[in-house]
Chains A and B, each alone.
Chain A
Amino acid sequence: MTILRHRLFWPIAVLVVLLLSNLIFSNNFFKVTLLDGHLYGSLIDILRRSAPLVLVALGMTLVIATGGIDLSVGSVMAISGALACLLIGDLSNPDAVGPVLLVVVAAIALCVVAGLWNGFLVAVLGIQPIIATLILMVAGRGVAQLITDGQILNVHSSPYRVIGAGYFLAVPVSFLIAAVAVALTVALTRRTALGLLLESVGGSPTASRLAGIRSRRITVMVYVCAAAFAGVAGLIYSSDISSADSNAAGNLIELNAILAVVLGGTALTGGRFSIAGSVLGAVIITTLDITAVSVGVPVETTLLFKAIVVIILCLAQSATFRAKVFGRFGTRRAEVPA
């Protein structure tokens, strides 16, 4: 019974059901082989392709924990990919590791500036987060298109390719990047007081300030983190296809990231947050995408299929709904108000 009450129970259950349905309806889903010295299979695809969404959802979790929201992450992804591809195109030797690393740092630095701008609008000027980040969401894609001149920029750089499409010790590099980011964030928020401070700012910025927490600094910091993570996600995205597509990069990913956070059990009102939940949410969304293709859901009904899975998960997570449907079985846990 206690396992049913764990807040990650339902997301994990849905993930397991999705994977099982692949076992029944699609071929070779669980087959993982070694190909050209790296792991190859649908499960590896899930790990690799979850990486950008996991990174963006990670930043989004921190922002939402403070009671904010960041709509600009998709545009920031586009900017980082666009700048990286533009700079690599100008390199005399795009296959040298050093210059490419510098380019990567420059792209992330630009994203940090974007995050500072968001943080400044929200924490210093007091503009509502949804409005403040909407500005960069719209303008940022314009900036990205300006950088690429409205075209798709192609790059041929083997070190840059490694970020999104490469393997280290047979494991996808993008997965490793996301794993390191998650581990760092968990360590910083759960092993230090930072997590507590975040939750306190999300609970009440004023009370936190009166209690001696520099809530303004913390707010700016979470937007910078979200933008930096989005920047890395943008690099993975553009490296994966060796080009910068500023129209499509990160398009609507902000909504997927918010969905991932919510599926993971973090409330949009701020306060308590669950990093494990958000990561799980992001993996569920990616698995859902891959499942729709591998079991061959017709194109016209793909969105409906996804919506149904998400609705089932959200309903399952609602204690009130469970109490109503399962009657006596759930009443004991129905003390949570609707």
Chain B
Amino acid sequence: MLRRLSIAVAGGLLLVSAVAGCGGDDGAAGGGSSGGGDDKITLGFAQVGAESGWRTANTKSIEESAATAGFELKFVDGQGKQENQIKAIRNFITQRVDVIAFSPVVESGWDTVLKEAKDAGIPVILTDRAIDSPDTSLYKTFIGSDFVEEGKKAGEWLVKEYQGKTDTVNIVELQGSPGAAPANDRKAGFADVIKADPKFKVVASQTGQFTRTDGKAVMETFLKSQPDIDVLYAHNDDMGLGAIEAIEAAGKKPGTDIKIITVDAVKDGMTALADGKINFIVECSPLLGPQLMDLVKKVKAGETIPQRVLTEETTFTPEQAKEALPNRKY
């Protein structure tokens, strides 16, 4: 009796999920009926998902700037799955959108579907993340941040800050998730700049997994195992924010006793920067909407555009943070 009931419930659940799945499809297809209008540009955008505040801001920027540019935007959330994005791109092709843009969940496995888009004559733009296909004719351009450059900017600030001093500068580094492009590149760019001067010494470098908890935990251990720490370089704001808690708990003053450099410039990080708890933030901006729309317009008009476009990004000192904070969107 019980077993039969459980089978019934399991079956019911499956049915519900199947129906929900269909619902999702209907939504995407339903939006398609009005696609391909005569003079209005239609942009199909397949997003990664909504996994972080950064991503949410990225989505918002694209939606808002598409509305401002007067484009019709068909937006699909891939929920972190490649197959969802591939399905979405196929839908865009059948709907005959003018331009397809997407932020690939993973680097590989896009050749087939992008070939289909190419055959259909629909130009493709990659945003924020790259693909590893050797065939660069599959997409028109890739717009996103240069993580190596971000690491370099962080290193350059450090070099300037300690200009004219000869004492050894002991640096600890909180890396992002092992193997992730932002972690590898931010480490490499930073190391590249500071290696010119032997007074800069990275005494410890461990992963904080891009999260606050791990940032705090690893910093706690650094503070005990490293007798002398002058500078902390964290690959994102969240790890830096966690580390601030650890530094405060150790009875030291973040920003004064230990100088802190982070990357991202999300709102929480900017607040800490304005409070003087962080000394310098390199921006990694999700707000690439306006630049993307510009590229879409150029691609549609048949103009040639560069294969690689960098997101417009800056860096922040505490004073600049105070100024920028009131209208920080994310």
Chain A positions near chain B (C-beta within 8 angstroms): 26-29, 31, 35-36, 40-42, 45, 49, 124-127, 135, 145, 150-152, 154, 165, 237, 240-243, 245, 247-249, 289-290, 292-296, 299-300, 302
Known pairs A40-B250, A243-B212; A302 contacts B207 (CB<8 A): yes
A residues less than 8 Å from B241 (CB atoms) = 241
Assign chain B's interface to a size class. 35 or more
Enumerate chain A residues within 8 angstroms of B206, measured Cβ to Cβ. Answer: 292-293, 296, 299, 302
**Contact indicator B9/A150 (Cβ below 8 Å):** no
- Which of B51-59, B125-133, B135-143 has 4 or more CB atoms under 8 Å from chain A? B51-59
List B contacts of A245 (CB < 8 A): 211-213, 238
Q: Which residue of B lies closest to A303 (CB)?
A: B178
Given the complex, which residues of B lie within 8 Å of A300, measured CB to CB?
A: 178
Residues of B within 8 A of A42 (CB): 221, 224-225
A253 → chain B closest CB, angstroms? 11
6 further A-B contacts with Cβ under 8 Å, apart from A35-B250, A125-B6, are: A27-B225, A126-B6, A150-B56, A241-B213, A241-B245, A242-B245
Min CB–CB distance B60 → chain A (angstroms): 12
Closest chain-B Cβ to A62's Cβ sits at a distance in Å of 23
Query: Beta-carbon contacts of B64-79 to A below 8 Å, as 1s and 0s?
Result: 0000000000000000
Within B184-241, which residues are at the interface with A (CB < 8 Å)? 204-207, 209, 211-214, 216-218, 220-222, 224-227, 238, 241
B218-A293 in contact (CB<8A): yes
B268 proximal to A (CB < 8 A): yes
**Which residues of B lie under 8 Å from residue A241 when comparing CB positions?**
212-213, 216, 241-242, 245
Q: Do residues B224 and A151 form an inter-chain contact, with CB atoms below 8 A?
A: no
Inter-chain contact B224/A294, CB cutoff 8 Å = yes
Question: What are 26 A-B contacts with C-beta separation under 8 Å?
Answer: A27-B224, A29-B224, A36-B251, A41-B224, A49-B217, A125-B9, A126-B2, A126-B5, A127-B9, A127-B10, A135-B13, A150-B51, A150-B56, A151-B56, A154-B268, A165-B249, A240-B213, A240-B245, A248-B209, A290-B217, A290-B221, A292-B206, A294-B221, A294-B224, A295-B225, A302-B206
Roughly how many angstroms separate A336 CA and B13 CA in the complex, as a whole number? 43
> A135 CA to B53 CA in the complex, in Å?
25
Q: How far is the CA of A124 from the CA of B5 in the complex (A)?
A: 9
Contacts of B3 in A (CB 8 A): 126
Closest B residue to A48 by beta carbon equals B220
Establish whether residues B204 and A299, one from each chain, have CB atoms under 8 Å apart when the complex forms: no
Q: Is the CB of A248 within 8 A of B213?
A: yes
Whole-angstrom CA separation of A126 from B8 in the bound complex:
11
B175 is an interface residue with CB less than 8 A from chain A: yes
Instruction: Find the A residue at minimum CB distance from B10.
Output: A127
Judge whether A293 and B209 touch: CB under 8 Å.
Answer: no
A-B contacts counted at CB < 8 A amount to 105
Find chain B residues with CB under 8 A from A249 CB. Answer: 213
Q: Hey, which bits of chain B sit against chain A, CB under 8 A?
A: 2-3, 5-6, 9-10, 13, 50-53, 56, 175, 178, 204-207, 209, 211-214, 216-218, 220-222, 224-227, 238, 241-242, 245, 249-251, 268
A282 to chain B, nearest CB (A): 15
B218 contacts which chain A residues (CB < 8 A)? 293
Find chain A residues with CB under 8 A from B178 CB.
Answer: 299-300, 302
With a cutoff of 8 Å between Cβ atoms, the chain A residues found around residue B53 in the complex are 150-152
Q: Which residue of B lies closest to A295 (CB)?
A: B225
5 shortest A-B CB distances, which residue pairs? Answer: A248-B211, A294-B225, A293-B221, A125-B6, A241-B212
Which residue on A lies nearest to B330, using beta carbons? A151
Complex-state Cα separation, A313 to B220, whole angstroms: 27
State whether B51 touches A247 (Cβ < 8 A): yes
Which residues of B are found within 8 Å of A247, using beta-carbon distances? 51-52, 211
A120–B95 alpha-carbon span in the complex (Å) = 46
Q: Is the CB of B217 within 8 A of A289?
A: yes
Task: Report the Cα distance A9→B274, complex, angstroms.
Answer: 53
In the bound complex, what is the Cα–Cα distance between A299 and B241 (angstroms)?
Answer: 21
Given that A125-B2, A126-B3 are contacting pairs, would A248 and B212 also be in contact in the complex, using a CB cutoff of 8 Å? yes
Q: How long is the Cα–Cα vector from A190 to B197 in the complex, in angstroms?
A: 63
Bound Cα distance A127, B10 (Å): 8
Instruction: For B217, give the chain A residue with the smallest CB separation.
Output: A49
Residues of A within 8 Å of B251, CB to CB, are 35-36, 40
A268 to B294, CA, bound (A): 58
Report A-chain residues with C-beta under 8 Å of the C-beta of B249. 165
Find out whether the CB atom of A299 lies under 8 angstroms from the CB atom of B207: yes
Which of chain B's residues have a CB closer than 8 A to the CB of A124?
2
Is the Cβ of B2 less than 8 Å from the Cβ of A165? Answer: no
Docked complex Cα distance between A154 and B216 (Å): 15
Residue of B nearest to A135 (CB): B13
Cβ-defined contact, A28 with B217, below 8 A: no
Q: Which residues of B contact A290 (CB under 8 A)?
A: 217, 221
Q: Are A293 and B225 in contact (CB under 8 A)?
A: yes
Complex CA gap A145/B77 in Å reads 15
B227 contacts across to A, CB distance below 8 A: 27-28
Contact status B221-A125, CB under 8 Å: no
CB distance from A198 to the nearest CB of B (A): 21
Distance to closest chain B CB from A336 (angstroms): 35
In Å, the complex CA distance between A295 and B205 comes to 11
Bound Cα distance from A26 to B203, whole angstroms:
13
Q: Which of A45, A127, A151, A165 has a CB less than 8 Å from the CB of B6? A: A127
Residue of A nearest to B183 (CB): A299
What separation, in Å, do the CA atoms of A290 and B216 have in the docked complex? 12
Give the nearest-CB partner of B219 in chain A. Answer: A293
Question: Quick one: closest B residue to A26, CB to CB?
Answer: B225
A34 to chain B, nearest CB (A): 11
Closest to B52 in A: A247
